[in-house]
Structure 1
């Protein structure tokens, strides 16, 4: 064992966690602000941004180029399971209230259930080939178009400012004018208060969009760092390739979703919790699986899939759908989290191959 490589990648893993924390914090705060400014549900914005599993796509493409299709599919299935049982469950545990999820969350959680069911059927009957892979990629394109249309409709139908919003804008303008007029006189006892007023001015929309993008880039970078460092550590410890894809890489590449879910839960943003989970799984089971099917040979289910994994993917999807429609509860989060621990134990013991 090369201890230098092991220690270096352990340090990289720790650094990646800090980048992850920074990116998640930026992303959540500014996603909510952008959604409020444009009159769009933060769920839709999160679906289009955090729901895009760029680091997973990078892992899949790298595995295909190396001829390791089972590793790619194992990573996809493991990530789909981890997103629900590992990330969504943490969001539920941290969610303070029982407010129901919005309509966008319900629509896209139902869509992810449909996509998951389609994937499980194709995988079980060994029908993942170039034709079905092309259909999955086309389905992903329709999914992106639907989100884009929903966002466009939200912007185009954005009403003029309500009274309260107009008051906020007027207050901002007045504050700015007051600050400018009071810049000349000598400092008085109230000077610190005038200084605080400037800090309350609303920043322009493009500032929050840029901060959102920076947060997303930090999340993608952290996912890349975590996936590669965890992968090297796992290789150093001589873990099985398939178990490695289903557990270690899947866990590492979904750490951004886990942290986003936790922070969103603490801040009461239930829509973002669902969006990152549903959007990520739709991305994984349409685009990523579609690319594997199109680029690779006909996939033999007996060599690639274990029924336990497929059943776990589908049951996880059903659990997400049920919680979204029935309402969030911390007990449900604890149950899902316990199920994830059982899944990991089973993978490393009973189903290790």
Structure 2
């Protein structure tokens, strides 16, 4: 019988770890971007490292694998990929102005096709978890992620694709604006002289004015490096706590790791993506909506799945994801691709259908696929 005190404690720990995870990811991404810019890394590389990347999911995956809960890691990855489309992307479509068709550009179409190809490649491999297949395909998927970063970086640099916006930090733009203002204001003040007001017998002339002192000084590289380290430690600690609390909750209720990862953990760790999707749709930025969703899923299905395959080589501790879950993943990815290519005029109706489909999927997960109700 489940111990109520243990359940309450672990649920509270799980929720607290979520806040720590988001705080750590926010600090890590913000200060990684600043350090990268200060050290001369190209802006495209910075964008790919900090945007469209599910770094929180990666930490949870590694922490779960370290504890021997590989099924929890796999369920979290597949559940997050489904939630990014049926949960986040659908909310973004619903947030578009009523009667307004979404204008998906060439970048969005290319991103969606890349994701569809990757998903079609990964699903059969996941369904047949043999030692030989996973031992070969795991490193291939990790290498695919590296090639993806390289090719997309080159494409963005040449103007073929639009870089995804950051989906994990809401304060980066503000901090960047302050940093850019601090660095560029002296240049502006030196190049644009002030004009003194004209007085009788005196012709107006350009006279340099002293540069006003800034209230906030530019922080040193060491300061940002220290915060980067703190953020990294925070997400590692939060990932360990989340995996530990999730394992304890599943043990108490007697539910499978796959179910908890697909439903609860996946929804919780993709909350930032849902928020950004709503804001992207509300502000009329369909390209950002697609890039964030697709970029996150490519990260999950290549790097995260590849790491799980390398670590387990087909031997998951508590069972693998089922065919209905894989069908939901592929069907939602196909729906996203068709929406981007052909469904812009019906984006809100498609958003409703996806959201309803997600609710139905969760209900079936609990009552039929994993039979918790019984």
Same fold (TM over 0.5): yes
State whether residues 88 and 333 of structure 1, in contact with CA within 8 Å, keep that contact through their aligned partners in structure 2: yes
Residue 124 in structure 1 maps to residue 127 in structure 2: yes
CA distance, structure 2, for counterparts of residue 73 and residue 104 of structure 1: 29
2:14–2:246: 8 Å Cα contact kept in structure 1? no
The total of aligned residue pairs comes to 303
Asked if residue 265 in structure 1 is aligned to residue 270 in structure 2, the reply is no
Shift of 1:296: 1.2
Match of 1:107 in 2: 110
Superposed, 1:1-353 pairs within 5 Å as 1-2=4-5, 5=9, 8-9=12-13, 12=16, 15=19, 48-96=49-97, 97-127=100-130, 128-154=133-159, 177=192, 231=246, 234-235=249-250, 239-299=255-315, 303-326=319-342, 327=344, 329-352=347-370
In structure 1, stretches of 5+ residues that fail to align are: 35-39, 156-168, 183-197, 199-209
Q: Offset at 1:267?
A: 1.4
In structure 2, distance between residues paired with 1:81 and 1:230: 23
1:111 Cα offset (Å) = 0.5
Q: TM-score, normalised by structure 1?
A: 0.70
Q: Distance in 1 between matches of 2:146 and 2:22?
A: 33
Would the alpha carbon gap of residues 228 and 63 (structure 1) be closer, same or farther in structure 2, given more than 3 Å must change?
A: closer
In structure 2, distance between residues paired with 1:123 and 1:154 = 35
**Separation (CA, whole Å) in 1 of partners of 2:89 and 2:304:** 21
Deviation at 1:175, TM superposition (A): 12
Partner of 1:189: none
Quote the residue 1:195 is aligned against: none
Are residues 261 and 143 of structure 1, via their aligned partners in 2, closer, same or farther at CA, if it must alter by over 3 Å? Answer: same
2:323 & 2:240 partners in 1: Cα distance?
A: 31
8 Å contact 1:81–1:313 — kept in the other structure? yes
Shift of 1:289: 0.8
CA separation of 1:255/1:233 partners in 2, compared to 1, >3 Å: closer, same or farther?
farther
**How much has 1:124 moved relative to structure 2?**
2.4
Of Structure 1 and Structure 2, which has the larger fraction of its residues in helix? Answer: 1
1:229/1:330 CA distance change after superposition, 3 Å: farther
| Aligned partners of 2:91 and 2:278 also within 8 Å | yes
Q: Show the counterpart of 2:167.
A: none
CA distance in 2, matches of 1:46, 1:294: 27
Q: What is the CA deviation profile of residues 165-209 of structure 1, one whole-angstrom value per residue up to 9, with x for unaligned ones?
A: xxxx9xx95998476857xxxxxxxxxxxxxxx9xxxxxxxxxxx
- Relative to structure 1, the CA distance from residue 180 to residue 81 in structure 2 (aligned partners, 3 Å threshold; closer, same or farther) is farther
Cα displacement (A) at 1:95 = 2.0
Sort the Cα spacing of 1:136 and 1:5 in 2 relative to 1 into closer, same or farther, 3 A.
same
CA distance in 2, matches of 1:142, 1:122: 20
| SS of the residue 2:51 aligns to | coil
Q: CA deviation at 1:98?
A: 1.6
Normalised by the size of structure 2, how large is the TM-score? 0.66
Structure 1 residues 106 and 248, CA, compared in 2 at 3 Å: closer, same or farther? same
Separation of aligned partners in 2, 1:10 and 1:135: 33
**Cα 1:10–1:106, aligned 2, differ >3 Å: closer, same or farther?**
same
| Deviation digits for residues 35-57 of structure 1 (CA, Å, limit 9, x no counterpart) | xxxxx99xx98665331111111
- Cα 1:11–1:345 change in 2 (3 A) is closer
Q: CA deviation at 1:245?
A: 0.8
How far is the alpha carbon of 1:108 from its aligned partner? 1.1
